[in-house]
Amino acid sequence: MGETQRTAIITGGGRGIGAEVARKLAEDGMNIAIFDLDQAGLDSIGAELKAKGHNVLTISADVSNEESVAAAVQRVADELGAPTVVVNNAGIIRDNLLFKMSVSDWDLVMGVHLRGAFLVSREAQKHMVQAKWGRIINLSSTSALGNRGQANYAAAKAGMQGFTKTLALELGRYGVTANAIAPGFIETEMTAATAERLGLSFEDFVAASAAKIPVQRTGKPADIANAVSFFASENSGFVSGQVLYVAGGPKA
């Protein structure tokens, strides 16, 4: 296989961490496919990357829907090339204390995070196995270790770690690695929403969080994109089944 330009799928790539990952992998020379339900976000990041000369495909897809995922991955294969890099980043929060958490709060979070990662990985792995090369990178979180008001999100993010390690065991013989990244506090619209839920200004929330982090700052989406780039690179083939905490210190 002389041609080594890779095609990457980034789910939830319309904004925040996902959009920054798309920028980074595009800079690394990959073709970029972005799945999201946020059409404005898709249009924005798609136009930005195309203006820089990158090969980009934006697809409105619901990662929790089997038919939607199958159609989206097939489009990527047809229009950009076999997707051999997958970044399962799509996520939502429906925070609440357990006694107030509704079944829909639970199911929606599980559907996007865990079912979404399962469906996209299952659909894309056939292309990786055929190519005898692949990279699956799943977004976990420090919340996997437990976080008040996030029983659904914490369970989903812990699940991502078990899912990742199992994919590493199953797919390693085909030249496919699977790793997870567990961000700590990253400045995104999602953490801004958490601040609002807690009744804090985002500035105060960031400052209070930074004070507890050994490196004395909160994370940026670029911090996560850098870790994704490492796991996705040609040179990272002996790193698999790992969970990398990108959190500014050893504790969540």
Q: Say which of 153, 163, 185, 231 is annotated catalytic.
A: 153
HEC profile of the chain: CCCCCCEEEEECCCCHHHHHHHHHHHHCCCEEEEEECCHHHHHHHHHHHHHCCCCEEEEECCCCCHHHHHHHHHHHHHHCCCEEEEEECCCCCCCECHHHCCHHHHHHHHHHHHHHHHHHHHHHHHHHHHHCCEEEEEECCHHHHCCCCEHHHHHHHHHHHHHHHHHHHHHHHHCEEEEEEEECCECCHHHHHHHHHCCCCHHHHHHHHHHCCCCCCCECHHHHHHHHHHHHCHHHCCCCCCEEEECCCCCC
153 a catalytic residue: yes
Give the catalytic positions in this structure: 153
